[in-house]
Amino acid sequence: MCDFLLWKNAKSIFYMASIAATWIWTPAIFVSSEKAYYSGLGGFLLFLIPNILTLTLFAYFASVVRSKTDGFTLTDAIKGAGKGQQRLHLAVSCTILICSTCVQLMGLHTLFVAWGDIPKWLSALTVSVMALAMVWRDGLKGSILADYNKYFLMLFGGLVLLIAVLVDGGSINLAGRKPVPFMELLGAFGIPTIIGLLSAPYVDQTFWQRVFSIDKDKIKSTFIGSALMFGIIPAVFGLIGFCSSGNAEWTIATAFQSFPLKVILAICVLCALISTLDSNLCAFSSIVCADMKQSISIGRLSMIALIVVASAVMIMTNLGITDMFLIYGTIRTCVALPTILIILNRYNPQRLLYSTILSVTVAPLGFIASGGNWIFTVLALIIPVFGYDRR
């Protein structure tokens, strides 16, 4: 049971590769390459730097939690908060897992649909079976071991694709094919991305599972190492975007015409999305087992339930990867600051609960209704400030 929910005493490189692979997920390949291609260096850095900084900052708060307690889930990290606050955090955490799983399914379908008329349900079924096979028996241990191999497959595949672009005569273009003023880019993409990314780990159970698995004295070094390992992958795919030639409809999914290169790209995308997907399955099952006090067998069934719900959302909506990425970035921002305040013991329980509820209610709905106005992502971060108390 312990290895299914946590995997302790593994070598640090396994944790680093697993955290990096889980954090890479689908947007790190699609968004990094497309921002480099269209927006140039500014757009690419607005995606890369916050991603690396996020894991580095989280290392500090994770080490604070582990210095005080052991556990399994986010609830153990905020055990000083009241039951209402804990339940709200868990509800948001489960919502994030559904949204994240949906994005991974979208990522594979985006690749498949560029090659042929493939229905969404088939894309979802294909990757779901793969992810379930990796974690059904061993849970988190199986996920971490698979992530280690997937990370290096992504790295090798990305380098092969980059070499192919350079051999084909590609030359670096740091200005981008559709450059826009930096402040406009910052408002439309940068601010929601930066806030969404920096807020990401605090309510994400995939991170807390690994935090509670790693030795207390290795938390900081492991997460900083994972941040550096992560940065290599989007850097490689960003270079592919900088060096590619194409038209106004360019995506990395259509950048390669030869069958062998398409297969390599498919392997890279599969590794990225399955790393996050199987981590999501483990995270959801750990919540069911540890917080809801269910058996491992029920935990395994909850993995299937997560896949079914996320697949239904993916099939019934027409949102793109970047749209969904920004929407649920706003959702998780609502509980990032509350989690930090609880960890640091700098909050008023009643005010924090009410301000978190207000943030969760107002910010995501406003973001969606306004068509993605970044001000609502900022509000998601600011509203919970009212729960601050020096104590």
Bigger pLDDT: 318 vs 362? 362
Taking 3-state DSSP, the helix, strand and coil percentages for the chain, each rounded to the nearest 5, stand at: 80, 0, 20
Question: DSSP class of residue 347?
Answer: B
User: Is the predicted pLDDT of residue 275 greater than 60, yes or no?
Assistant: yes
Tell me the per-residue pLDDT of 110-126, one tens digit each, with 9 for 90 and over.
Answer: 777 766 777 888 888 88
**What pLDDT does 28 receive?**
79
Q: Judge whether 252 lies within some domain.
A: yes
* Residue 346 pLDDT class (50, 70, 90 cuts): very high
Q: Judge whether 333 lies within some domain.
A: no
User: Is the predicted pLDDT of residue 205 greater than 80, yes or no?
Assistant: yes
User: Is the predicted pLDDT of residue 26 greater than 70, yes or no?
Assistant: no
User: Is the predicted pLDDT of residue 224 greater than 60, yes or no?
Assistant: yes
Bigger pLDDT: 217 vs 200? 217
Count of the separate structural domains present in the chain: 1
**What pLDDT does 360 receive?**
92
* Mean pLDDT, rounded, for 155-171: 89
Q: Judge whether 176 lies within some domain.
A: yes
**What pLDDT does 19 receive?**
94
Q: Judge whether 314 lies within some domain.
A: yes
Q: Which residues does 96 contact at the CB level (< 8 Å), separation at least 6?
A: 203, 204, 328, 331, 332
Question: DSSP class of residue 116?
Answer: S
Question: Residue 338: which of 52, 82, 150 has the closest Cα?
Answer: 82
Tell me the per-residue pLDDT of 61-109, one tens digit each, with 9 for 90 and over.
Answer: 999 999 989 999 999 999 888 899 999 999 999 988 998 888 878 877 7
User: Is the predicted pLDDT of residue 322 greater than 70, yes or no?
Assistant: no
Phi, psi (degrees; rounded to nearest 5) at 256: -120, 130
* Residue 369 pLDDT class (50, 70, 90 cuts): confident
Q: Judge whether 121 lies within some domain.
A: yes
Q: Judge whether 376 lies within some domain.
A: no
Average the pLDDT over each of 148-162, 321-335, 353-367 and give the range with the smallest value.
321-335
Q: Judge whether 369 lies within some domain.
A: no
* Mean pLDDT, rounded, for 204-233: 94
Question: Residue 333: which of 227, 204, 220, 209 has the closest Cα?
Answer: 204
pTM reported for the whole predicted model: 0.87
User: Is the predicted pLDDT of residue 391 greater than 70, yes or no?
Assistant: no
Q: Which domain holds residue 163?
A: 2-81+102-320
Q: What is the mean pLDDT of the chain?
A: 88
β-strand partners of 133: none
Q: Judge whether 350 lies within some domain.
A: no
* Mean pLDDT, rounded, for 330-351: 92
Average the pLDDT over each of 40-54, 281-295, 325-339 and give the range with the smallest value.
325-339
Taking each helix axis as running N to C, give the angle between helix 140-167 and helix 259-286, from 0 to 180 degrees, rounded to the nearest 10: 160
Per-residue tokens: 202: 């605090």
User: Is the predicted pLDDT of residue 1 greater than 60, yes or no?
Assistant: no
User: Is the predicted pLDDT of residue 59 greater than 60, yes or no?
Assistant: yes
**What pLDDT does 143 receive?**
93
d(CA 373, CA 390): 32
Bigger pLDDT: 176 vs 11? 11
> What's 55's domain CATH number?
1.10.4160.10
d(CA 154, CA 148): 10
**What pLDDT does 321 receive?**
67
* Mean pLDDT, rounded, for 217-241: 94
Per-residue tokens: 132: 């379930």
